[in-house]
Amino acid sequence: MELLIGLTILIFSAILHEVAHGFVADRFGDPTARLAGRLTLDPRPHIDPVLTIFLPLMLILSGSPIIFGGAKPVPIDPFNLKEGRKDVALVALVGPLTNVLLAIAGALLFRFLDALPIIFPELVGLILVLIVKYNLLLAIFNLLPIPPLDGSKVFAMLLPEKHANTYLSLQQVGIFILLFLLFFPVGGFSLMEFVSNLLNFSFSLLLPL
């Protein structure tokens, strides 16, 4: 039951993440996502075989302490954006920010219900806890500076344009770099442990259970 609820929350949180990208891009002058029919909560246009199905399933089967996935990235044409690289970074940032806001909303609702002089159903508490957990996880993962994750587009703003373009070109193999770093520590650094610790810390700030 918890796994099913968690995956459902993960999928719809990832969809809201992508819709936020497309909505802000549309406001900044790029209608690509809207014209592609991606500004919708219907999950079908957002399903990605790797991010939505393969990656979460592999993490579950491997016994990973964290489960992560995502929706198909919305199409963005940076040449349509009014302020180029700056707007690209803002469009990228709004996705993780949406997940942070969803996590905060879930935590506030949990605290509100918990303060009432009644006992609310355990299932409601579980759903709210998982909303906080998975949205924090989506925000943390997507802010990692590994192309094509959102954090890479924000980090690219700090680089000269030539170097930024070379760095962002790694997005073709970025998912494999991410998977490698998740499962194989490098130089004593474990990305899985880093994300897990950051998740636990941020979760404890919102819901000190």
What is the pLDDT at residue 104? Answer: 98
What is the pLDDT at residue 176? Answer: 85
Residues in the chain predicted with pLDDT less than 50, given as ranges, are none
The distance of Cα 71 from the centroid of its chain, to the nearest Å, equals 9
What is the pLDDT at residue 155? Answer: 94
Enter the tokens of residue 30: 């790029």
Q: Quick check: helix, strand or coil at residue 160?
A: coil
What's the pTM value of the predicted model, to 2 decimals? 0.92
Does an H or E element contain 14, and which?
helix 2-27
28-49: burial string, b at 16+ Cβ within 10 Å, e else:
bebebbeeeebbeeeeeebebe
142-178: burial string, b at 16+ Cβ within 10 Å, e else:
bbbebbbbbbbbbbbeeeeeeebeebbeebeebbeeb
Q: What is the dihedral of CA 95, 100, 103, 105, to 10 degrees?
A: -100
Over residues 176-203, the pLDDT tens digits come to: 888 888 888 898 899 989 999 999 999 9
Q: CB atoms < 10 A from the CB of 114, how many?
A: 13
What is the pLDDT at residue 128? Answer: 96
The one-letter amino acid at 187? G
What is the pLDDT at residue 124? Answer: 93
**Mind telling me the catalytic residues?**
18
Enter the tokens of residue 60: 């579950």
Q: CB atoms < 10 A from the CB of 2, how many?
A: 11
What is the pLDDT at residue 75? Answer: 94
